[in-house]
């Protein structure tokens, strides 16, 4: 989770947690209080209703007893009892007298809706306020059997005669002697009872009190529903508890399936349950209201906390986010920035330290960038150089190739010129005059000279064209070869050639021979009047060996130090000293090819010393030895 989210949730928890906790406590307390109040009300209602119920029964029973006494006092009944023939005029007279004078007036001001008198002997109804029932027998009814001895209240039962539930009170009627002659019974109007039981204070609209018999059937009409008495049975928790003779309260669903708070009580005297219930919805309405208010307050608190938490989290996060953005910028190379954080707290310090760091990093990076730029430039130049060099090499090679080819191909026609000129001179010797011979001689001489020139040029060109790889060469032995080649000239000139011990060098042995041969040859050629003395030595200069060829010849002016090394450049005429003028150019070219230099020191008439450098073998000794060993190894293998 992002830091913002975490901070936000923490703020929220700190703010909302206690608010919810307090709300919950308040709610629980309120609920307990209201529930206790409701159950107390229900329990007391039950007690009141029981008292009312019993008072209602007792009052009616007492009234009936008074009527029975009254009937007896009048004495009329005793005479009527034995007769009982509805057709008998005497009976009719009694009937009229008793019903009109006693029963009817009494009934009108009591809770009974039918009064009837049964003969004690057989239970036949002698007279009734409802004449239809007269003549019927009630001998097996409990109200008759029990009512013969004392006042009896028959619990609620279904009266077939009335086709509805009834309660009947019966009381004995005694004659003057105290014998029971009849039973006076009255049927109670259960609508009255229902009214008494279900009448509520009106403060709570869902308050519902009703009686249930031991068979779980309604006895009185409950507030919600009609025609339930003895027709509907009820299996709610309250009824079941009451039937087990428990008294208490509970939360359960009532006969309609609606959640109620109910108080139940068993009335042992009447074997009835009394139940008072109120809908939870109504009873708990104040709680719901409280809950609603708490929820609203809670919601408000949460909203405020949400906003506050959001703002606070933002306040904390914004500088961090800015720093983060700056860091990201740095990652992408943007080093000059301002975080715009001016706070004096730790985050402010961090931001400033960060800015500092960025600044210094930028400085470092700038110098580095310059260096990089330079490197790039140099590389570019180098590449250009290499390119130029390559071009140069190529053109040089082309040139060499051209020179080589040219000089090689030129020799053939030249040979033909000199051959045929000589053939002309020999064959027509007789017919040619001296002048012609002279011209032919010039032509041949020119051709020979040109041949020499071309040969030299070819040699010069060959320096680079036909080369062998460098190898370790004993310069002493090379000098020997050169001197061997010059033997005739040395003997003829009487030159004295001396040398120091010469080193091993990395060179093309053939070319090195040419260098010695040319330099020594020049020393002999340009000798003074004295016999030439030539000394060859070598001196180590770092990795290089610097050779010198010193003579006592005619020497030359140092102003020609460059000219003498140019191709076909000569300081003397051909007549004075023969030659093509390519020797030193060749030497220079060879030495330079070996990576060395060539120069001279001289004075007119005082001899000259030519120097040239070659790469020594010291640094490569190990390699050479190794190479020789290998060669030997190879040889030994071949021998086998």
Partner 1 sequence: MKRATKVSIGLCFILTFIAACGEKLPKAPLEKTTLQLKWQHQSQFAGFYLAQEEGYYTAENLAVEFIEGGPGIDPAQVVGTGQADFGVVAPEDVLIKQSEGQDVTAIATIYQHSAVVFATLENSGIIRPKDFKGKTIAALGDGSMRDFELRLRVLLRKTGLDMTMIQLVPYDPDYKGFYDGKVDVTPAYLSGGVAKMRRKGCKLNLIWPDDYGIHFYSDVLIVSRKLLEEHSDRVVRFVRASLQGWRAAVSDPDKAVQVTMKYARIRNPDLQTDMMQALIPLVHTGEAQIGWMTAEAWQHMYDIMENQGLLSAPLPELTKVYSTRFLETIYGAKGQ
Q: Judged by CB under 8 A, does residue 225 bind partner 1?
A: no
Which CB atom, from 135 or from 480, has the smaller least distance to partner 1? 135
Helices (H), 222-345: 237-243, 280-283, 285-331
What's the half-sphere exposure (Cβ side, CA atoms, 13 Å) at 485?
16
**Contact mark string toward partner 1, 75..114, x via CB under 8 A:** ----------------------------------------
Helix, strand, coil percentages, rounded to 5, for the chain:
55, 20, 25
Judged by CB under 8 A, does residue 189 bind partner 1?
Answer: no
**Cα angle 150-152-156, degrees, rounded to a multiple of 5:** 170
Nearest to 64 by CA among 155, 152, 192: 152
Please tell me whether residue 292 binds partner 1 under the rule CB under 8 A: no
Stretch that binds partner 1, among 29-37, 151-159, 275-283, 484-492 (CB under 8 A): 151-159
| Stretch touching partner 1 by CB under 8 A, among 1-9, 134-142, 170-178, 479-487 | 134-142
State the nearest-atom distance from the C-beta of 223 to partner 1, in Å.
Answer: 19
CB of 128 to partner 1, least distance (A): 12
165 sits near partner 1 (criterion: CB under 8 A): yes
Q: 76 or 123: whose CB is closer to partner 1?
A: 123
Question: Between 214 and 334, whose beta carbon lies closer to partner 1?
Answer: 214
Candidate list 163, 559, 573, 639; residue touching partner 1; CB under 8 A: 163
Q: Does 232 sit near partner 1 (CB under 8 A)?
A: yes
Q: Which is nearer to partner 1, 132 or 466 (CB)?
A: 132
- Name which position in 14, 24, 215, 442 contacts partner 1 (CB under 8 A): 215
Using the rule CB under 8 A, is 217 a contact of partner 1? yes
- Asked if residues 36 and 284 have their Cβ atoms less than 8 Å apart, the reply is no
What span, in angstroms and rounded, lies between the C-alpha atoms of 512 and 520? Answer: 12
Return the residue of 158, 402, 428, 568 that touches partner 1, per CB under 8 A. 158
CB of 126 to partner 1, least distance (A): 14
Query: What's the DSSP call for residue 470?
Result: P
Pick one of 108, 132, 344, 469: the residue that binds partner 1 (CB under 8 A).
132
Contact call for residues 234 and 255 (beta carbons, < 8 A): yes
Closest residue by Cα to residue 291 from 548, 476, 619, 29: 29
Question: Residues 76, 135, 480, 528: which binds partner 1 (CB under 8 A)?
Answer: 135
Identify which range of 135-143, 454-462, 479-487, 555-563 contacts partner 1 by CB under 8 A: 135-143
- Neighbour count for residue 352 (Cβ, 10 Å): 13
Contacting range for partner 1; rule: CB under 8 A; set: 4-12, 197-205, 212-220, 297-305: 212-220
Closest residue by Cα to residue 579 from 526, 501, 621, 505 = 526
R_g (Cα) of the chain, nearest Å: 76
Kind plus residue range of the DSSP H or E element containing 479: helix 475-485
Q: Give yes or no for residue 493 binding partner 1 (CB under 8 A).
A: no
3-state secondary structure of 158: strand
Among 126, 127, 153, 156, binds partner 1 (CB under 8 A): 156
Least separation, in Å, of the C-beta of 243 and partner 1? 9
SS3 549: strand
Under 8 Å CB-to-CB from 6, ≥6 apart: which residues?
Answer: none
State the first-to-last Cα distance of the chain, in angstroms, to the nearest integer: 83
DSSP 8-state assignment for residue 565: G
Please pick, from the candidates 73, 160, 622, 637, the single residue that binds partner 1 as defined by CB under 8 A: 160
Contact between 556 and partner 1 by CB under 8 A: the answer reads no
Q: Which stretch binds partner 1 (CB under 8 A): 94-102, 158-166, 355-363, 433-441?
A: 158-166
Distances, alpha carbon 183 to alpha carbons 62, 96, 97, 113, 123, in Å:
15, 18, 18, 17, 8
Smallest distance from the beta carbon of 130 to partner 1, in angstroms?
13
Select the residue interacting with partner 1 from 123, 225, 250, 329 (CB under 8 A): 123
Q: Report CA-CA distances (Å) from 425 to 281, 416, 438.
A: 155, 14, 10
The count of residues interacting with partner 1 (CB under 8 A) is 26
Contact residues toward partner 1 (CB under 8 A) are 122-123, 132-133, 135-137, 139-140, 155-158, 160-161, 163, 165, 213-215, 217, 219, 230-233
């Amino acid at each position: 989770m992002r830091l913002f989210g975490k901070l936000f949730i923490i703020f929220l928890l700190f703010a909302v947690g206690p608010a919810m906790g307090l709300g919950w406590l308040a709610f629980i307390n309120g609920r307990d209080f209201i529930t206790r109040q409701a159950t107390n009300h229900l329990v007391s209602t039950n007690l009141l209703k029981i008292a009312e119920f019993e008072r209602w029964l007792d009052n009616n029973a007492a009234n009936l007893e008074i009527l029975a006494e009254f009937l007896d006092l009048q004495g009329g009944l005793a005479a009527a009892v034995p007769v009982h023939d509805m057709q008998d005029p005497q009976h009719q007279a009694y009937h009229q007298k008793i019903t009109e004078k006693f029963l009817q007036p009494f009934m009108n001001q009591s809770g009974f809706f039918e009064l009837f008198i049964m003969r004690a002997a057989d239970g036949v109804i002698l007279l009734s306020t409802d004449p239809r029932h007269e003549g019927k027998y009630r001998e097996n009814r409990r109200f008759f059997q029990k009512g013969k001895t004392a006042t009896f209240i028959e619990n609620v039962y279904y009266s077939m005669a009335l086709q509805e539930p009834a309660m009947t009170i019966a009381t004995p009627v005694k004659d003057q002697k105290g014998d029971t002659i009849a039973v006076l019974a009255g049927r109670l109007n259960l609508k009255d009872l229902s009214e008494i039981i279900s009448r509520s204070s009106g403060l709570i609209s869902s308050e519902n009190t009703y009686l249930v018999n031991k068979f779980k059937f309604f006895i009185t009409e409950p507030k919600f529903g009609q025609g339930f008495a003895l027709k509907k049975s009820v299996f709610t928790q309250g009824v079941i508890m009451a039937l087990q003779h428990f008294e208490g309260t509970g939360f359960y669903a009532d006969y309609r399936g609606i959640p109620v708070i109910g108080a139940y009580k068993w009335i042992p005297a009447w074997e009835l349950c009394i139940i008072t219930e109120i809908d939870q919805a109504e009873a708990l309405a104040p709680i719901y209201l409280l809950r609603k208010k708490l929820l609203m307050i809670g919601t408000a608190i949460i909203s405020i906390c949400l906003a506050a938490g959001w703002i606070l989290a933002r306040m904390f996060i914004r500088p961090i986010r800015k720093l983060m953005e700056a860091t990201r910028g740095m990652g992408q190379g943007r080093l000059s920035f301002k975080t715009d954080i001016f706070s004096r707290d730790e985050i402010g310090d961090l931001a400033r330290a960060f800015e500092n760091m960025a600044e210094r990093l930028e400085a470092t990076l700038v110098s580095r960038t310059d260096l990089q730029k330079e490197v790039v430039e140099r590389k570019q130049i180098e590449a250009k150089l290499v390119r130029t060099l390559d071009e140069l090499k190529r053109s040089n090679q082309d040139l060499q190739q051209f020179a080589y080819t040219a000089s090689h191909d030129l020799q053939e026609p030249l040979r033909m010129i000199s051959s045929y000129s000589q053939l002309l001179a020999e064959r027509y010797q007789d017919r040619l005059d001296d002048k012609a011979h002279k011209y032919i001689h010039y032509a041949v001489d020119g051709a020979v000279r040109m041949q020499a020139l071309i040969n030299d040029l070819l040699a010069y060109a060959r320096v680079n064209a036909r080369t062998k790889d460098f190898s370790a060469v004993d310069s002493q032995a090379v000098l020997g070869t050169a001197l061997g080649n010059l033997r005739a000239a040395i003997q003829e000139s009487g030159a004295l050639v001396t040398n120091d011990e010469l080193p091993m060098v990395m060179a093309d042995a053939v070319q090195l021979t040419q260098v010695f041969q040319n330099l020594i040859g020049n020393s002999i050629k340009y000798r003074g009047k004295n016999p030439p003395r030539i000394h060859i030595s070598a001196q180590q200069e770092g990795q290089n060996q610097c050779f010198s060829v010193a003579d006592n010849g005619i020497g030359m002016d140092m102003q020609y130090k460059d000219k003498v090394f140019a191709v076909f450049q000569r300081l003397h005429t051909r007549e004075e000293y023969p030659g093509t003028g390519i020797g030193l150019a060749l030497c220079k070219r060879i030495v330079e090819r070996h990576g060395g230099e060539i120069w001279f020191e001289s004075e007119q008439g005082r001899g000259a010393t030519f120097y040239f450098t070659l790469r020594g073998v010291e640094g490569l000794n190990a390699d050479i030895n190794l190479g020789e060993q290998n060669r030997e190894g190879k040889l030994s293998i071949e021998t086998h």
